[in-house]
Amino acid sequence: ETHGISFRIQVSVKEVLDKDILLKLLFHLPVGYPSTLPDISVNSDQLTRAQCMDVKEKLLEQAKKHLSEPMVHDLILWIQQHLKGVIKQSATVCNEKTTLSEGTEDGIWMLLLHLDHMRAKAKYVKTVEKWASNLRLTGRLMFMGKIILILLQGDRSSIKEYLILQKTSKVDVDSSGKKCKEKMMRVLCETEVQSQHKRFQTFEVKEYSTPEELQKEFETAGLTTLFSEFVPPLLK
């Protein structure tokens, strides 16, 4: 009632570059849908990240033409018919872009999440690492005592896609061992990266023995204010 619904659809598109391409589409329909545009995430093992972003942009362009009427089915039919053209166009545009400007339209954003617990820790950690890699996000998954924090940096659109995945995927298990979604996550901060903040070059999983060690990680990245504002209340 307050968040809308999310679902995944897998579509196989034939005869694109002489091979079948499997598209994994994640739709999040907000409460106001179809008067409000859906959020769309596109993944495919056979396409580059840039191509997936281009497919997403084209789908959103089509979605605007169907505003106020149910559109998911039409969007899927459209991409099945036009994927070849989108990929061809994407390759041309890609050659014209410099690597530096790619995907930085909205600037680099930062996200700090707090997780209450991880029952299936190994699987959960692997999933987070995979998402961060697929979305080209850097940062840290941090464990200190019972505190679990995820700090991410990357394109704003990728940050938003990560949030959808984190909220809608079965990433953990409940007390009876059944797979379950993350219901105890809190977004502590979502903001644009400022000049005083240092960019993380990789995504790493780290464990800290003391609050001082954790604080040093934030200070090294130029995030002292972020630490002092959000982390001390969790230590109490």
User: From residue 85, how far is each of 25, 32, 88, 117 by CA, in Å?
Assistant: 18, 31, 5, 45
Enclosing H/E stretch for 195: none
Alpha-carbon span 67 to 61, nearest angstrom: 10
Place of tokens 């009876």: 176
The DSSP line for 109-170 is EEEEEEES--SSHHHHHHHHHHHHHHTT-EEEEEEETTEEEEEEEEEHHHHHHHHHHHHHSE
pLDDT 10s digits, 16-31? 556 788 899 999 998 8
Q: Look at the domain 108-234 and name its fold.
A: Alpha-Beta Plaits (3.30.70)
CA 141 to CA 236: how far, in whole Å?
Answer: 20
Per-residue pLDDT, averaged over 123-133, amounts to: 94
Over the stretch 167-217, which tens digit does the pLDDT of each residue have? 888 888 888 888 888 888 889 998 888 877 888 999 999 999 999 999 999
What is the distance between the alpha carbons of residues 155 and 41, in angstroms, rounded to a whole number? 14
The β-bridge relationship of strands 138-144 and 203-208 is parallel
pLDDT at 219: 93
- pLDDT tens digits, residue range 48-98? 878 888 899 999 999 999 999 999 999 999 998 888 888 876 655 544 433
Torsion of the alpha carbons at 178, 180, 185 and 191, rounded to the nearest 10: 140
Confidence (pLDDT) at 20: 82
Superfamily of domain 5-91: Ubiquitin Conjugating Enzyme (3.10.110.10)
Instruction: Say what the pLDDT of residue 207 is.
Output: 96
Evaluate whether 28 touches 38 at the Cβ level (below 8 Å): yes
**What does the domain layout of the chain look like in residue ranges?**
5-91, 108-234
pLDDT value of position 125: 95
- Domain 108-234 in the same topology as domain 5-91: no
